[in-house]
Amino acid sequence: MLKAAERLSGMDKEQESEGKLIVSAPMLQNFAATSMGVVFAVSALANGYVLVGEKPDLSDARKVLCGGYRVTDIDDRVIRVRLTGLKPATRYYYRIGADRISYKGGYQMKILGNEEDPNTYSFMTAGEAAEAHFCVINDTHARWEPFGLAVEKIAVCAPACVIWNGDASNVEETVEAQMRIFLTPEIERKDYASEMPYLFCPGNHDNRGMANRHLDRVWMFRQPEERQPRDWDLGRNFAIRQGDLALIGLDTAEDKLDTNPKFAGLFTSGPYREAQTEWLRDALQREEIRTAPYLVAFCHIPLFDDNPRHNPGDVAPADSDPQYSTDFAYWQRTCARLWGPLLEEAGCQLVITAHQHRYRYDAPGNGRSWAQIVGGGPEMNEPDSDSFPTVIEGIVRQGRLEIIVHNLLTGRVQSQFSFQAKRRG
Ligand SMILES: [Fe+2]
Ligand SMILES: [Fe+2]
């Protein structure tokens, strides 16, 4: 018995494990003009890579390893590869692969085998010459039915990119739970994000749970060199030119104050929002953003709400006040004060938000030049209310920004809006 056990322990443990090494389709994350993130799941310690080129047969492909400089980012669950130095508005083809690694110490490491996904995928980078067409989903909360419906609707719309506007999570304590949400969701279309690039504006729930404190393990940041040193920690904020559209992604962070005793001093939403204000100020000045005829911003918690019962998220110290219907932020007055004037000055036409699980349209008014759309929630059993899952589609055609709100419960278009181009001043 012992002899057999010794023999077994003499073998590489990883060799014993059978089955596939690559256990998910790739997901395109943090879509940009000159870079793209490719993330996939593995079942054992692996050194992952992407082969990427402009020719469909990949005869011109280069191999990009996971991680950055110095050492690769071997991992036994999630492989993250950031492709940089890409050309804007250009189609690329790619495959994913991984070496199975045995690691027994600093001088005892070897490759046990190699696996490549046989599929060749492709994507288009962002850019002024790219198509001005996006879709937004939000508050999916790991509910597979509404998420599956959203993914199918997106496949029909075929936008250039998708903005996942927060609350993808509930409370996630493990990397495995996070992988299930983004990389191996229980929906039919497993490769939902292999050719459709995603951007992410986290919601309050995407901060909840020990694993979500390191969400970048499954939703990678952009590389530090893709932004200025002051903004290195703002790895998911985006300011992207996509045809005639400029798309701005912000993170409203938690729906409770940092001072709320429930949070035990473990959150720093306040300084995070202020850091994003400086980033936003500069992003809006960038030539390709400033000159875009349409400016649309995305964030999870609404920046406007005219219902006096709705908690504005700045009730110190513990978010509690009997005049409000909830003891957490229903909308974000602090973010509205920090970001609203900058968006206003930049001529923003529309802010798309989420969080309330009820679809709503707020027309511009009272000194606010931008409209707001609040996306619906994951509920599938309230057909007569405003609580239904949505895909919000935006497309520039015939000199207008058309917004189509798809109701996933009825399968019909809920509403349509049309926005004029900015007046050039
Ligand atoms: Fe939510
Ligand atoms: Fe939320």
Summarize pLDDT for 2-28 with one digit per residue, the tens: 344 443 344 444 444 568 999 999 999
Cα-to-centroid distance, 184 and ligand 2 (Å): 22
* pLDDT grade for 424, boundaries at 50, 70 and 90: low
Domains within the chain, CATH numbers bracketed: 23-124 (2.60.40.10), 133-419 (3.60.21.10)
50-77 core/surface letters (b: 16 or more CB in 10 A; e: else): bbbbeeeebeebeebbbbeeeebbbbeb
- Output the CA–CA distances (angstroms, integers) from residue 139 to 144, 380, 414, in the order listed: 12, 13, 18
Q: What is the arithmetic mean of pLDDT over 356-373?
A: 95
Cα-to-centroid distance, 29 and ligand 2 (Å): 21
Angstrom distance (rounded) from CA 97 to CA 407: 38
Q: What is the pLDDT of residue 182?
A: 98
Among the bound ligands, name the one nearest to the CA of residue 389: 1
Task: Give the whole-number percent of the chain exceeding pLDDT 90.
Answer: 90
Among the bound ligands, name the one nearest to the CA of residue 328: 2
Among the bound ligands, name the one nearest to the CA of residue 329: 2
Angstrom distance (rounded) from CA 249 to CA 202: 10
Q: What is the pLDDT of residue 8?
A: 37
The pair of three-digit structure tokens given for residue 301, joined into one six-digit string: 């918690």
Among the bound ligands, name the one nearest to the CA of residue 203: 2
Cα-to-centroid distance, 175 and ligand 2 (Å): 21
- Output the CA–CA distances (angstroms, integers) from residue 153 to 103, 156, 351, in the order listed: 44, 5, 22
Among the bound ligands, name the one nearest to the CA of residue 353: 2
Residue 154: its H or E element: helix 144-157
Q: Determine contact, residues 28/196, Cβ cutoff 8 Å.
A: yes
Q: In the block, which residue shows the tokens 């278009």?
A: 413
Give start and end residues of each alpha helix (H) in 292-394. 333-345
Cα-to-centroid distance, 165 and ligand 2 (Å): 9
The pair of three-digit structure tokens given for residue 135, joined into one six-digit string: 């879709």
* pLDDT grade for 354, boundaries at 50, 70 and 90: very high
Cα-to-centroid distance, 46 and ligand 1 (Å): 34
Radius of gyration of the chain (CA): 22
* Length of the chain counted residue by residue: 425
Cα-to-centroid distance, 360 and ligand 1 (Å): 15
Cα-to-centroid distance, 167 and ligand 1 (Å): 5
Cα-to-centroid distance, 358 and ligand 1 (Å): 10
Of 167 and 229, the one with more pLDDT: 167
Cα-to-centroid distance, 303 and ligand 1 (Å): 15
Cα-to-centroid distance, 272 and ligand 2 (Å): 17
Cα-to-centroid distance, 353 and ligand 2 (Å): 10
The residues that bridge with 161 in the sheet, in sequence order, are: 134
Q: What is the pLDDT of residue 276?
A: 98
- Output the CA–CA distances (angstroms, integers) from residue 289 to 93, 202, 240, 417, in the order listed: 27, 22, 7, 22
Cα-to-centroid distance, 255 and ligand 2 (Å): 7
Cα-to-centroid distance, 93 and ligand 1 (Å): 35
Sign of the dihedral through C-alpha 43, 116, 190, 248:
positive
Cα-to-centroid distance, 140 and ligand 2 (Å): 10
Cα-to-centroid distance, 185 and ligand 1 (Å): 18
Say how many C-beta atoms besides its own lie within 10 A of residue 364's C-beta.
15
Q: What is the pLDDT of residue 222?
A: 85
Cα-to-centroid distance, 140 and ligand 1 (Å): 7
- Residue 302 CB-density burial (10 A; 0-12 exposed, 13-18 middle, 19+ buried): buried
Q: Is the pLDDT of residue 141 over 90?
A: yes
Q: In the block, which residue shows the tokens 């003499």?
A: 10
The answer to which of 92-96, 235-239, 384-388, 409-413 has the lowest mean pLDDT is 384-388
Q: Determine contact, residues 167/203, Cβ cutoff 8 Å.
A: yes
The answer to which of 11-15, 160-164, 337-341 has the lowest mean pLDDT is 11-15
